């Protein structure tokens, strides 16, 4: 399997099929993730009423559960949406924002991971360490400390919850418990901006909507996202001008650029 070619093809498929990405997502990043969805070529919808989420899932190509501004009302709606997604085999991508920072966030994420079939979990090293019982510290939503080796964290996450773990950091690691890939695209501007983890999750979900292997979707989504950041970086003079250039670049990214420049490496687990 050539991951470069498959990722390039998946970008073509996203733009052709325009899958609906149903977001139950935190308030901070709603606008940014809706724009990133459009720019990568998919369609966004943000809908969180318990009364309508199941119906919206039926039209969706992927469901994103993002825990950034959680309340009980949202947990209820996420549960309904998640169950419907499982029933209709719609892939769920979970973003456990701030897991480890409070009991509510840690226990809710664990409950979703146990009770639902989650295709992909995209989080930082602190969040995934907290969810696997490895040492880690999360301050607010930031990873402050984690287990030394992100491959160990990702593998343990994948095995514990029978999911694909997509751990983002200086090098991104994706793992399904057996196979492990490193993704080396990305840029140092990303952490200076809020919501860049959440936006990565959205791009991963776009790939999951068109790609049956969630490990391939996760690696390809993260590499594509990181590549857009690289290509945008030299137009930026600070984090806000980077954001403008980055969003423009996601929109203009070609399958040829993806094929030539994504850097996905198999890692011996």
3-class SS of residue 150 = helix
C-alpha span between 117 and 89 (Å, rounded): 9
Pairwise CA distance, residues 112 & 148, whole Å: 26
Residue among 106 and 156 whose Cβ is closer to a copy of itself: 106
1 vs 71 by CB, closer to a copy of itself:
71
Which residue pairs, CB below 8 angstroms and at least 24 apart, start in 102-107?
104/70, 105/67, 105/70, 106/130, 106/131
Strand, coil or helix: 2 = coil
For the CB of residue 180, give the shortest distance to a copy of itself in the complex, in Å.
30
Closest CA to 28 of 57, 66, 75, 72: 66
If the CB atoms of residues 133 and 140 are measured against a copy of itself, the closer one turns out to be 140
**Closest approach of a copy of itself to the CB of residue 21, in Å:** 8
- The distance of closest approach from Cβ of residue 126 to a copy of itself in the complex, given in angstroms and rounded to an integer, is 12
* Residue tagged 């039926």 (tokens): 58
Compute the distance between CA of residue 134 and CA of residue 235 in angstroms, rounded to an integer.
39
CA distances to 75, 91, 101, 243 from 10, rounded to whole Å, are 31, 15, 35, 24
The nearest distance, CB 79 to a copy of itself, in angstroms, is 15
List CB contacts of 158: < 8 A, sequence separation 6 or more: 164, 165, 175, 176, 177
- Could you tell me the smallest distance in angstroms from the CB atom of residue 261 to a copy of itself? 18
Q: Which positions touch a copy of itself (CB under 8 A)?
A: 20, 22, 26-32, 34-35, 37-39, 43-49, 51-52, 55-56, 59-60, 68-73, 98, 101-105, 139-142, 192-195, 237-241, 243-249, 251-252
- Least spacing, CB of residue 138 vs a copy of itself, in Å: 9
Q: Which is nearer to a copy of itself, 149 or 254 (CB)?
A: 254
Nearer to a copy of itself, 33 or 156 (CB): 33
36 versus 219: smaller Cβ distance to a copy of itself: 36
């Amino acid at each position: 399997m050539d991951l470069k070619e498959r990722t390039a093809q998946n970008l073509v498929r996203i733009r052709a099929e325009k899958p609906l990405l149903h977001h139950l997502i935190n308030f901070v990043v709603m606008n940014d993730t809706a724009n990133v969805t459009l720019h990568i070529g998919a369609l966004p919808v943000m809908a969180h009423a318990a009364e309508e989420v199941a119906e919206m899932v039926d039209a969706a190509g992927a469901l994103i559960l993002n825990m950034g501004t959680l309340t009980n009302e949202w947990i209820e709606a996420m549960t309904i949406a998640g169950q419907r997604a499982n029933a209709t085999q719609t892939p769920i991508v979970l973003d456990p924002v701030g897991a480890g920072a409070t009991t509510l966030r840690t226990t809710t994420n664990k409950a979703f991971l146990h009770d639902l079939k989650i295709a992909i979990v995209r989080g930082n090293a602190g969040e995934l360490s907290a969810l696997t019982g490895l040492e880690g510290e999360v301050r607010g939503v930031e990873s402050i400390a984690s287990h030394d080796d992100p491959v160990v964290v990702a593998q343990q996450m994948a095995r514990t919850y029978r999911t694909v773990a997509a751990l983002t950091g200086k090098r991104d690691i994706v793992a399904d418990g057996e196979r492990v890939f490193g993704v080396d695209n990305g840029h140092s501007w990303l952490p200076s901006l809020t919501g860049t983890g959440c936006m990565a999750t959205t791009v991963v979900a776009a790939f999951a909507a068109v790609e049956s292997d969630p490990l391939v979707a996760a690696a390809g989504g993260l590499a594509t996202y990181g590549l857009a950041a690289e290509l945008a970086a030299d137009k930026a003079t600070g984090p806000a001008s980077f954001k403008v250039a980055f969003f423009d670049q996601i929109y203009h990214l070609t399958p040829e650029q993806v094929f030539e420049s994504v850097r996905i490496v198999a890692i011996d687990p």
